[in-house]
Amino acid sequence: MFRYTADRIPVSIVLTISLIDFIVYLLVDNAWWLAGYALLSIIPKGVICAWNHHHQHTVTFHAKFLNRILEFFYALHTGVSTNLWVLHHVQGHHRNFLDQTRDESAWKRADGQPMSALEYTLTIAGTAYYRGYKVGRKFPRLQRDFLLYLVVTLFSVTLLCWFQLVPALFIFVFPMVFSLFFTAWVTYDHHSGLDTDDAFEASYNNTNRLFNLLTGNLGYHTAHHYRQGLHWSKLPELHEEIKSRIPPALIRNSRFVLTNT
């Protein structure tokens, strides 16, 4: 069922959080309790964004229908539906991250000046679906599934809102919007300020054990760009192989983010 056994625990956690979400949705209707639950879920759902990223690089299950089901729950947590990151991030950013005039996650403005973290966050999150759609013009099959499952997700969320509006807003809608912007915010530090043609000098890395436990080794970011299809569980080993080619200043140890400060 699983392509890699390492995915069993993170997927079980994600689906458990999904189950809790639906239990709260069905049983709680007090707005204050729902707001409290939404606040408590911010950190777990922010972490889930990293695992959705990994899945859209290397799918979790052998069976396509299982991947689609998992992507539906990922979308309810992260605001990122099936194939959005495949198009925007895998086929877009990873191909173009060394060219700020083409990068779908560019940290520079069109005039060549660097964006602030806030400007970058608002720009990347606000245009994510449009940019994903544009990249999809080159990949019709991926774009077809992207549009199909986007409609499925929107319809499902609309149905949840129709059935119980206030719980749906606090448990699904608000976290989806927040998580999309949170994803953009944390990616600002991946490459910002690194204007280079050398892929080994274009990413910040974070070797902190807690950070990589929570994010599935996303801190080994140069290795991730070097072999983007490599499963997250194998990134530390690849990092060790290529570490001598990464400038020491780009390897940090931070508990929470990849950081250039």
Token readout for 10 is 């993170």
pLDDT > 50? residue 41: yes
For helices 128-136 and 140-163, angle between their N-to-C axes, nearest 10 degrees: 150
The Cα-based distances of 218 to 50, 210, 245, 248 in angstroms read: 7, 11, 18, 18
Q: Report the distance separating Cα 27 and Cα 167, nearest Å.
A: 9
pLDDT classification of 261: cutoffs 50, 70, 90: very low
pLDDT > 90? residue 256: no
CA 243 to chain centre: 25
Q: What is the DSSP string of 89-104?
A: IIIIIHHHTT-TTT-T
> Are the CB atoms for 187 and 105 separated by under 8 Å?
yes
Q: Using one digit for the tens of pLDDT, what is the confidence trace for 90-122?
A: 999 999 999 999 999 999 999 999 999 999 999
pLDDT computed for residue 74 by the predictor: 98
Nearest to 75, CA basis, from 186, 188, 156, 19: 156
Nearest to 130, CA basis, from 69, 180, 171, 94: 180
Give, rounded to a whole angstrom, the gap between the first and last alpha carbons of the chain. 42
Domain boundaries, the chain: 5-193, 195-261
Q: Using one digit for the tens of pLDDT, what is the confidence trace for 163-218?
A: 999 999 999 999 999 999 999 999 999 999 999 999 999 999 999 999 999 999 99
Rounded to an integer, the average pLDDT of 49-58 is 97
pLDDT computed for residue 254 by the predictor: 77
